[in-house]
Amino acid sequence: MSMETLSASIASGQNLQSILRENRVFSPDAGFAAKAHVQSLEEYRAIYARSIADPEAFWAEAARELDWFQPWSRVLDWKLPEARWFVDGKLNLCHNCVDRHAVGTRSEKTALLWVGEPSDEVRRISYRELHEQVQRAANGLKSLGIRKGDRVAIYMGMTPELAIAVLACARIGAVHSVIFGGFAASAIADRVNDAQCVAILTQDGSWRRGAEIPLKATVDQALAQTPSVKHVVVLRRTGSAIAMQAGRDHWWHELIDSVQPVCAAEPMDSEDPLYILYTSGTTGKPKGLVHTTGGYGVQTYLTTKYIFDLREEDVYWCTADIGWVTGHSYVVYGPLANGATVLMYEGAPNYPDFSRFWKIIEEHKVTVFYTAPTAIRAFMKWGDEHVERNDLSSLRLLGTVGEPINPEAWMWYREKIGGGRCPIVDTWWQTETGGIMVAPMPGAVPTKPGSATLPFFGIEPDVVDRSGNPVPAGSGGLLVIRRPWPSMARTVYGDAERYRKTYWSDVPGCYFTGDGARRDEDGYLWLMGRVDDVINVSGHRLGTMEVESALVAHAKVAEAAVVGRPDALKGQAIVAFVTLETEHSKPESLPALKDELKQWVTQEIGALARPEEIRFADVLPKTRSGKIMRRLLRELATTGSIVGDTTTLEDFSSLAKLREDEES
Ligand code: WTA
């Protein structure tokens, strides 16, 4: 069933039977289960039942596994949509991720195992060394006058210093705003200005697929529009020549060499902000989701421990960039709070060849591997021979995140990467949820290819219609969460009303995820994609509005409507319908203009938003009230024709014209 049909059926109050049926079930391997944190379905169900009967008791017990400088007085204050977890508690997440492991048995254990892209450059940083480095970086930031509550933007590549930068901010209570290294200058400026960041931490450049990405030069462009930024700290990574502005720009190595190696971790209130991370919504500019300290720390810690079933000797590799929420929660905070060895790889999976990931797994004996469906589909396309050359027998658990995984890719992942023996944890969650919400407990819950299965402890998802009534098993509906959870985002930075409206008003009393889902007879959840205008390209969320605004900002464009169309590799691909200012609509210039517009979007937002296809139209189909009917455009982009309901359309001829364009 397409998302379009799903939203349409939900909107009209009908429930649809899903067409997709997947009957394979894989029970946890007995050997795996025997050593797992949760060893059977009965045990999972018993703990889950307890966690739902008394969530506060459950989460309080979990929170006691972290170090607190001062205990909380109440576990939860909840007045929709405002949650406060571990009220009055004081802690520091850098302390929990680093300091407590830097003393005692883990001090010489590798915390970060870093692999550079260009050569087989490897750095191993123990917890003791990490402790020293985050303290130096923290003192370096302080020496620039950066204090608790200040916002600091981080625009770096996947170097150990990126993780160190994040932790150093957490240590002094500065709120980090990590901006993915693929974003363009204007996207950086928007984010920096929204949060009024006082500093940007960056690198000269970063390596990707053998080429250098000029990060500092891009920051320099953004800096022309970001008056709040007083300091730029630059890590030397590639050694390329860059411009350094005296007084404003500082070299990372000079900064940390000039300070003391001891810096106490700031006691943070449980509800003090930890970071802001921007994500796409349906309308307007990206939202800065604000995550706080205590609840976020507890849930990322606990989900990492249980869902990846972490053991002391694991070599854990989550391939996400720290620029996305997956990198925040499952490269940095979750695994380090558990004292794990975290592998970080700087570059691309296909550099210098298609077997780079598998070589890394073989060489470093990776045991837990967490990646995205879009990557898995790319590996499948590149061919099994690139996998088969390597010994992947160290792997014991696999995970996926970011979009629904199709059963075919799931099966391939299980057989080719997991050797048929590793459990797969398909983890459903969002930037807004902060931590994993739905995923199989690997030693306990039988898996079905394509299903994220059952909720994590303390989480109560439901599948409902627009009025909040649960739909019957097997029917499609809206995925909601019925009660607050510790790692939920607390607000949209500077716009509490947008937070309430976007997440807590669609379905009465519930958090609305924006995703469609179906629950089967066993209570398993099957995610069906977004029901709104968010496009998921290779696991990256993009709002149609953002791409449209970029297009309309081009001098030749009058109007634009952007939709997602299913794509075998990327999940969804972007199709843009564009009308031009009349003086530019001469047919001979159109093919070149398509390329120009694609390039324009790349320059405005970043390559991740580049439209796959641009179609020119004389007019866009609109309702009588003037809303562009994306539903029709989506249908046209996907199937090549329109059979859906067009009765609310204002100008029928617009559709005929679009079809003509299609044929020409
Ligand atoms: C989608 C990434 C199906 C979903 C952690 C969600 C998934 C959006 C899954 C959040 C999954 C993420 N199965 N869909 N296992 N994981 N999604 O904020 O549409 O970048 O709403 O967070 O990705 O994307 P975000």
CB 507 within 8 A of CB 480: yes
Cβ of 572 closer than 6 Å to ligand 1, yes or no, is: no
**Per-residue confidence (pLDDT) for residue 590, from 0 to 100:** 86
CB 439 within 8 A of CB 425: yes
Give the H or E element holding residue 305.
helix 294-307
Cβ of 321 closer than 6 Å to ligand 1, yes or no, is: no
Cβ of 527 closer than 6 Å to ligand 1, yes or no, is: yes
Beta pairing partners, 542: 535
Cβ of 536 closer than 6 Å to ligand 1, yes or no, is: yes
For atom 10 of ligand 1, the residue with the nearest CA is 430
**Per-residue confidence (pLDDT) for residue 220, from 0 to 100:** 98
Least Cα distance to 585 among 663, 662, 661 occurs for 661
- If one counts every other C-beta atom within 10 angstroms of the C-beta of residue 581, the result is 12
Q: How far is CA 635 from CA 205, 541, 609, in A?
A: 41, 20, 20
For residue 558, how far is its CA from the centre of ligand 1 (angstroms)? 33
| Per-range mean pLDDT, top range of 312-316, 550-554, 562-566 | 312-316
Phi, psi of 636 (to 5 degrees): -65, -45
CB 463 within 8 A of CB 525: yes
**For the segment 185-205, what is each residue's pLDDT rounded down to a tens digit?**
999 999 999 999 999 999 999
For atom 1 of ligand 1, the residue with the nearest CA is 403
Q: What average pLDDT does range 538-552 have in this prediction?
A: 88
* pLDDT > 80? residue 82: yes
Cβ of 427 closer than 6 Å to ligand 1, yes or no, is: yes
Least Cα distance to 546 among 596, 496, 604, 489 occurs for 604
CB 413 within 8 A of CB 424: yes
Cβ of 279 closer than 6 Å to ligand 1, yes or no, is: yes
Q: Full-prediction pTM beyond 0.85?
A: yes
Place of tokens 């500082």: 250
CB 215 within 8 A of CB 206: yes
Q: What average pLDDT does range 580-606 have in this prediction?
A: 88
CB 330 within 8 A of CB 338: no
CB 657 within 8 A of CB 618: yes
Cβ-defined contacts of 184-188 (< 8 Å, 24+): 184/218, 184/602, 184/603, 184/604, 184/605, 184/606, 185/218, 185/219, 185/221, 185/222, 186/222, 186/225, 186/604, 186/605, 187/604, 187/605, 187/606, 188/153, 188/155, 188/218, 188/219, 188/222, 188/226
Which atom of ligand 1 is nearest the CA belonging to 324? 20
**Per-residue confidence (pLDDT) for residue 581, from 0 to 100:** 87
DSSP 310-369: --TT-EEEE---TTSHHHIIIIIIHHHHTT-EEEEE-S-TTSSSTTHHHHHHHHHT--EE
Which atom of ligand 1 is nearest the CA belonging to 405? 13
Cβ of 424 closer than 6 Å to ligand 1, yes or no, is: no
Which atom of ligand 1 is nearest the CA belonging to 513? 21
For residue 492, how far is its CA from the centre of ligand 1 (angstroms)? 18
SS3 121: coil
**For the segment 412-454, what is each residue's pLDDT rounded down to a tens digit?**
999 999 999 999 999 999 999 999 999 999 999 999 999 999 9
Among 278, 307, 330, 515, name the best residue to mutate to test ligand 1's pocket (greatest count of ligand atoms within 8 A of Cβ).
515
Q: What average pLDDT does range 370-395 have in this prediction?
A: 96
Residues 6+ apart with CB under 8 A from 196: 151, 228
At 648, the pLDDT band (50, 70, 90 cuts) reads low
For atom 11 of ligand 1, the residue with the nearest CA is 428
For atom 24 of ligand 1, the residue with the nearest CA is 430
**Per-residue confidence (pLDDT) for residue 662, from 0 to 100:** 46
Helix pair 185-195, 215-223: axis angle to 10 deg = 60
At 119, the pLDDT band (50, 70, 90 cuts) reads confident
The answer to whether the Cα torsion of 217, 218, 219, 224 is positive or negative is positive
Among 328, 430, 535, name the best residue to mutate to test ligand 1's pocket (greatest count of ligand atoms within 8 A of Cβ).
430
For atom 8 of ligand 1, the residue with the nearest CA is 430
For residue 542, how far is its CA from the centre of ligand 1 (angstroms)? 12
Among 401, 438, 537, name the best residue to mutate to test ligand 1's pocket (greatest count of ligand atoms within 8 A of Cβ).
401
Q: Rounded distance, CA 565 to CA 535, Å?
A: 9
**Per-residue confidence (pLDDT) for residue 2, from 0 to 100:** 43
- If one counts every other C-beta atom within 10 angstroms of the C-beta of residue 448, the result is 21
Q: What average pLDDT does range 544-566 have in this prediction?
A: 90
Residue type at 90 in one-letter notation: K
Q: What average pLDDT does range 213-221 have in this prediction?
A: 98
For residue 18, how far is its CA from the centre of ligand 1 (angstroms)? 20
At 491, the pLDDT band (50, 70, 90 cuts) reads very high
Cβ of 433 closer than 6 Å to ligand 1, yes or no, is: no
DSSP 578-640: EEE-GGG--GGGHHHHHHHHHHHHHHHTBGGG--SEEEE-SS--BBTTS-B-HHHHHHHHHHS
Place of tokens 């191993």: 124
Place of tokens 């902060």: 434
Cβ of 402 closer than 6 Å to ligand 1, yes or no, is: yes
Question: What domains lie within the chain, and their CATH numbers?
Answer: 3-65+427-530 (2.30.38.10), 87-348 (3.40.50.12780), 534-659 (3.30.300.30)
**Per-residue confidence (pLDDT) for residue 632, from 0 to 100:** 86
For atom 3 of ligand 1, the residue with the nearest CA is 404
CB 544 within 8 A of CB 535: yes
* pLDDT > 80? residue 272: yes
**Per-residue confidence (pLDDT) for residue 185, from 0 to 100:** 96
Cβ of 514 closer than 6 Å to ligand 1, yes or no, is: yes
- Rg (the chain; Cα; Å): 24
* pLDDT > 70? residue 633: yes
CB 198 within 8 A of CB 166: no
Q: Rounded distance, CA 6 to CA 475, Å?
A: 10
CB 6 within 8 A of CB 404: no
Q: What average pLDDT does range 448-469 have in this prediction?
A: 96
Cβ of 515 closer than 6 Å to ligand 1, yes or no, is: yes
Cβ of 434 closer than 6 Å to ligand 1, yes or no, is: no
Cβ of 229 closer than 6 Å to ligand 1, yes or no, is: no
For atom 6 of ligand 1, the residue with the nearest CA is 430
Looking at the chain, the whole-number percentage of residues with pLDDT higher than 90 is 82
**For the segment 273-320, what is each residue's pLDDT rounded down to a tens digit?**
999 999 987 666 789 999 999 999 999 999 999 999 999 999 999 999
For residue 466, how far is its CA from the centre of ligand 1 (angstroms)? 21
Average pLDDT, rounded, for the chain: 92
Q: What average pLDDT does range 458-478 have in this prediction?
A: 95
At 651, the pLDDT band (50, 70, 90 cuts) reads low
